[in-house]
Structures are given as structure tokens and as C-alpha cells.
């Protein structure tokens, strides 16, 4: 049910509400943890939220836009524009420290900055050393650069043998 909001929207209030919108594929992360909200603008009753996709084909983007809309509508904010912006391109540098800690707790190894695939000629190069999110061992190996979603790679721990996702560095 949409109820009339008691107060006109403010930027601070909108940011607060966006913290409650989670990523549909990694539900422990809010969209703010993930760093995909680029801007919030309030002009009178009008609210504009600008979001940026993690990957070009990310199928979660329309779900995220819908979730933002529903969360704000529930507060009585009805004049909404959700804008998609692809430049500057999203980078894992925008992921918050809190988001990284939540990821590891959830069983997904957080991105390690500065390990993006920049050197394409470095074929079969050393895999990024990723800590196992379960037993914390550093003895792990890359199984595949492409995992269960576009933003993750598949690793396996050589000590506890558990396969796990690694959130790829994307800089």
C-alpha cells in the first residue's frame, strides 16, 4: 500500500532507504555496499537515483531498479526517476569496506584491489592468491575465471577442499 509521506524527501533520507535495498544475487550486500548508486538528487517531490551496472549484461539491473522504486514508493515518494549510467564504468574500488566484510562472512571472497585482468598477454599467469572465506587458508586455486554470475570467479580451497566464489577485481 502506498501511504502519503509525512515529510518531503531529502537526500539523506533517500540514501538511508537505499541502504535497505539489497543486491538480488548477493542478498547480504546492499546496493550501497556494492557501490552501484552513483547519485541521488532531490528537487521538491522529485527524486532521481542514478545507478551503474556492474557488468554490461548484468540481469539484476532491472530487478534493482524495480526494488529501488518499490522501496521509495512504500515511503510515499511517487515522483521517481531511476537513471542508468554506464560511464564512468563501475569498478570494485567502489565497494565499501563493510560490503567486503559482509561478503567474506557470506562465503564469497571479496575482491583484491589491483588484480584486474590488465595484461592479456600474461596467459596462464599466476592466479590471484585468494583467501578461502571458510577456513581462511591461502592455499587455494582458480578453477574458472567465469563463475555463477558475471562478477564472480570460481575457486577451490586446497586445504578444506571447499569450492567458493571470488568476487573478481574489476578496475
Partner 1 sequence: MLPTQPELTAASTATASPLFPFVLQLADTSLILAHRLSEWCGHGPVLEQDLALANIALDLLGEARSYYQYAAELEGQGRAEDDLAYLRPAVEYRNPLLVEQPNGDFAHTIVRQFLFDNFHYQLLKGLKDGPDARLASIAEKSLKEAAYHLKWSSEWMIRLGDGTPESRRRLDKAIATLWRFAGELTTPTATETQLQELGLVPDYAALRPAVQAHTAHVLAEATVPEPAPPFAQLGGKSGRHSEHLGYLLAELQYLQRTYPGLTW
Query: Could you list the residues that contact partner 1 (CB under 8 A)?
Result: 53, 55-59, 86-90, 116-118, 120-121, 123-124, 143-148, 150, 154, 170
Distance (Å, whole) CA 149 – CA 132: 19
Nearer to partner 1, 42 or 92 (CB): 92
User: Exposure pattern of 106-136 as b/e (b: 16+ CB <10 Å)?
Assistant: eebbbbbeebbeeeeeeeeeeebebbbbeee
Give the nearest distance from C-beta 87 to partner 1 in angstroms: 3
Closer to partner 1 by Cβ: residue 74 or 171: 171
Q: Of 47 and 61, which has the nearer Cβ to partner 1?
A: 61
Q: Which of 103, 29, 148, 60 is nearest to 163 (CA)?
A: 148
Q: Shortest distance, CB of residue 129 to partner 1, whole angstroms?
A: 18
Amino acid at each position: 500500500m502506498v501511504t502519503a509521506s509525512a515529510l518531503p524527501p531529502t537526500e539523506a533520507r533517500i540514501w538511508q532507504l537505499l541502504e535497505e535495498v539489497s543486491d538480488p544475487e548477493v542478498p547480504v550486500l546492499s546496493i550501497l555496499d556494492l557501490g552501484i548508486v552513483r547519485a541521488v538528487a532531490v528537487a521538491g517531490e522529485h527524486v532521481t537515483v542514478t545507478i551503474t551496472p556492474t557488468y554490461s549484461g548484468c540481469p539484476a539491473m532491472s530487478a534493482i531498479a524495480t526494488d529501488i522504486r518499490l522501496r521509495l514508493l512504500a515511503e510515499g515518494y511517487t515522483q521517481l526517476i531511476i537513471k542508468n549510467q554506464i560511464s564512468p564504468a563501475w569498478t570494485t574500488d567502489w565497494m565499501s569496506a563493510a560490503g567486503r566484510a559482509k561478503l567474506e562472512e557470506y562465503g564469497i571472497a571479496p575482491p583484491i584491489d589491483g588484480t584486474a585482468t590488465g595484461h592479456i598477454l600474461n596467459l596462464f599467469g599466476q592466479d590471484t592468491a585468494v583467501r578461502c572465506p571458510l577456513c581462511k587458508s591461502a592455499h587455494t586455486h582458480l578453477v574458472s575465471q567465469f563463475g555463477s554470475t558475471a562478477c564472480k570467479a570460481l575457486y577451490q580451497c586446497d586445504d578444506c577442499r571447499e569450492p567458493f566464489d571470488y568476487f573478481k577485481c574489476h578496475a
